[in-house]
Structure formats: structure tokens, C-alpha cells
Amino acid sequence: MEEKILKAKAGMPCLILFIFLYLAAIASIIFGGNLLSKQNNLGAVFLTIGIIWVSIGFVPFLGLKIIKPQEALVLTLFGNYIGTLKEAGFFFVNPFAVAVNPAAKTRLGQSDDVSHIPSIKLEAGINLQNNYVSKKISLKVMTLNNKKQKINDALGNPIEIGIAVIWRVVDTAKAVFNVDNYKEYLSLQCDGALREVVRMYPYDIGLVEDNGANGEADEFSLRGSSKEVAQRIRETIQAKVENAGIEILEARITHLAYAPEIAAAMLQRQQARAIIDARKMIVDGAVGMVEMALEMLNEKQVVQLDEERKAAMVSNLLVVLCGNRDAQPVINSGSLY
């Protein structure tokens, strides 16, 4: 269903008119009563008209609506969608029109949708209020913080991950009529999209076959490529909530860690990898320094070394440069040979 913008009448002139009619009805009752006291039959007519209007005169006041900036009101008349009020101001619509918002009582963990009225908390993080709430739909940019989830990455390692989704409603008709509750729908689709995307990537750097449409490989990881992963999560969520009239502006990873049951083992693996990388760098540097030393000795002809002495010198230099502790030198005061 496509959204229709409702063009409503200005509310202030209508309010003045309704107040005037109410006062006129009261005056008609008083005037009709005075005529009846004087045995004038015309007084019954004024009295009847005044009583009828006083009894039903409140109905037009029900059509007065106040819309604040970045708010919308979806209206139906006897079950038919007649339009959405989006423009801020004071308006008059059909008094029998009913505002519709199935998600009016739903509260998510959002920045702009938090109420201080006591409510009932559910396990899914959604609060349902028993008190009266407005049927207006907020068009502001809001943030959804879903609970952390435990998901297996591309290598099968269980991880804990949480995201924050920046979103807003862009089509009120789709949000109200296409889904039962657009807030709950968004929350569930965020959970599903997060699981779908996280399973394509390893926690740390690795090469995993891409499950997307391009058939290429992704050289990304959850820890090292958070921006790319978040962008893919945003695109996946947007594709799922398009029919609900919701626009996903941004998705951010707010929490990422190994699950507690494997966190210690993964930390040891990371430490071992760091030690290996450090040792490799040290050995590469030491070999380069030894090669440079031999070349300089040969160029300047400081000393002539045979192959056996060169091997001994290389061994000693590597021990000194690659050792964990400071070397204890042994001074040879005799002949080199």
C-alpha cells in the first residue's frame, strides 16, 4: 500500500466555529426557555435545537488534530485508508476518522522512544505499556540496540556480537498496514540479518568463500574489517525491511568478542601467533645485519675469513641478535686461528 498525504483543513478557524456554535446552542436553550415561559410555541423549537446541539456538539471537536514536527498520523475512515497527516500544525479532519498505529505501545531500546511510564518488560527487550499512548508515528531518526547474540563465525568459532541500527520510518502506510508491528518486525529482521552476515566471515583474518551473488572470496574479518561488515549488515537489513517502509541509515558493531567458553584458548592462540610473528621479524632482521656485516668486512678488507670462520661468526651473531637474554661475550686475546 502506497502512502497518501492528506490535505486537511486549518484547525483554528474550525475550533472557533465549534465554540461559537456551542455558545449559540446554550443561548438558544436560554432563549427558548424564556419564550416557553411566555406561552410562545416558538420557544420549543429553539429549546430542542439547543439541547440537540449541546448533546452532540462535542463530536466535531474529535476531528481536531495537532501534529508536531517529525510526526505523522495515519487515518482510516470506516476501515478505509484515507491518508497520512505529515505536516506540522493544527488541523481538522473527519471526526469519525481513526488513527492507526499497531506499534504505539511497543518500546524498543531506542534513543528517541523511551518512556518513564511504568511498563511490563518482556524477555525480548520489548516493553508493553498499559497506559494510554499516542497513535502518532515518529519520523525521527532512532537507534535500535538489540541484545548481544552468540553466533558461529565462518570457521565455526562461537562469538558474541551486538549491533546498533540507525533507522527511521519513511513510508507510514507500509509501516502500519504491511506488517503487524513494524518495531518488532525490525528487531527480528536485525537479528536474522546479523546471523546471516556474521556466518560469512571469520573472527580474525582469513580467507572465506563468499556466499553472496558475486561468487568471489572475501578477504575480510569481523575484527579487522568492522566497517565493511557493518555496511553489509546494513544492506541486508534494508533489503528485509523495505516492505515495512523503514530506511536503515547505518549499522554499527557495538560489541565483538569470543564466547566465554573458548575465549581463553583463543587468547593463547593469539599470543602464540604474536610470538611467532615477532620471532620471524627478529630473525629476518638478524640475517640482514649479519649479511651487512660480512659485506662490510669484505669490502674494507678488515680481516680475511675462510668459510669455517664465516660460519662461526654467523652463528655467534645470530645467537647474540636472536637470543632472549643479553649475551655474555668471551674475549679471545690470542690468535684468531
Residue 47: which pLDDT band, with cuts at 50, 70 and 90? confident
* Mean of the per-residue pLDDT values of the chain: 79
Is 38 domain-assigned?
A: yes
Range in 122-131, 146-155, 194-203, 280-289 with the lowest mean pLDDT: 122-131
Q: In the predicted model, is pLDDT for residue 202 greater than 80? A: yes
Residues 161 and 222 in one domain: yes
Residues 138 and 66 in one domain: no
pLDDT confidence of residue 81: 92
Among 99, 123, 145, identify where a domain stops.
99
Residue 17: which pLDDT band, with cuts at 50, 70 and 90? very high
Is 331 domain-assigned?
A: no
Q: Say if residues 271 and 202 touch (Cβ distance below 8 Å).
A: no
Nearest to 170 by CA among 66, 65, 72, 240: 72
The position carrying cell 556474521 is: 198
Is 1 domain-assigned?
A: no
Is 334 domain-assigned?
A: no
Residues 108-124, mean pLDDT to the nearest whole number: 49
Residues 169 and 237 in one domain: yes
Residues 27 and 153 in one domain: no
Residues 180 and 195 in one domain: yes
Neighbour order of strands in the sheet with 64-67: 9-10, 89-92, 64-67
Residues 23-49, mean pLDDT to the nearest whole number: 83
All three cell numbers of 184: 518488532
Residues 85-95, mean pLDDT to the nearest whole number: 91
Domain count, the chain: 3
Is 3 domain-assigned?
A: no
pLDDT tens digits for 54-63? 888 889 999 9
Sign of the Cα pseudo-torsion (130, 134, 137, 143, in order): negative
pLDDT confidence of residue 13: 92
Residues 167 and 226 in one domain: yes
Is 327 domain-assigned?
A: no
Among 65, 99, 133, identify where a domain stops.
99
Q: In the predicted model, is pLDDT for residue 176 greater than 90? A: yes
Is 301 domain-assigned?
A: yes
Is 329 domain-assigned?
A: no
How does DSSP assign 218-247, residue by residue?
E---TTT-HHHHHHHHHHHHHHHHGGGTEE
Ranges of beta strands (E only) in the chain are 9-10, 64-67, 71-77, 80-85, 89-92, 98-99, 106-107, 120-121, 127-128, 137-138, 142-145, 149-152, 158-169, 208-209, 217-218, 246-258
Residues 111 and 222 in one domain: yes
Percent of the chain with pLDDT over 90: 29
Nearest to 226 by CA among 246, 197, 248, 261: 197
- More reliable by pLDDT, 290 or 241: 241
Q: In the predicted model, is pLDDT for residue 330 greater than 70? A: no
All three cell numbers of 42: 416558538
Residues 250 and 276 in one domain: no
Within a 13 Å sphere around the CA of 333, how many CA atoms are in the beta-carbon half? 0
pLDDT confidence of residue 217: 37
Q: In the predicted model, is pLDDT for residue 75 greater than 80? A: yes
pLDDT confidence of residue 173: 92
pLDDT confidence of residue 132: 59
pLDDT confidence of residue 208: 42
7/84 Cα distance (integer angstroms): 9
Residues 300 and 185 in one domain: no
> Residue 177's domain is classified under what CATH number?
3.30.479.30
- More reliable by pLDDT, 149 or 126: 149
Q: Say if residues 95 and 63 touch (Cβ distance below 8 Å).
A: yes
The residue count of the chain comes to 337
Among 215, 234, 258, identify where a domain stops.
258
Residues 47 and 118 in one domain: no
Domain carrying residue 27: 9-99
Q: In the predicted model, is pLDDT for residue 125 greater than 70? A: no
pLDDT confidence of residue 106: 82
pLDDT tens digits for 271-328? 777 777 777 887 778 788 877 877 787 777 666 666 777 777 777 676 766 766 666 6
All three cell numbers of 294: 660480512
Q: In the predicted model, is pLDDT for residue 245 greater than 80? A: yes
Residues 78 and 40 in one domain: yes
The greatest distance separating any two alpha carbons of the chain, rounded to the nearest whole angstrom, comes to: 149
Residue 260: which pLDDT band, with cuts at 50, 70 and 90? confident
pLDDT confidence of residue 233: 92
104/197 Cα distance (integer angstroms): 31
Residues 50 and 146 in one domain: no
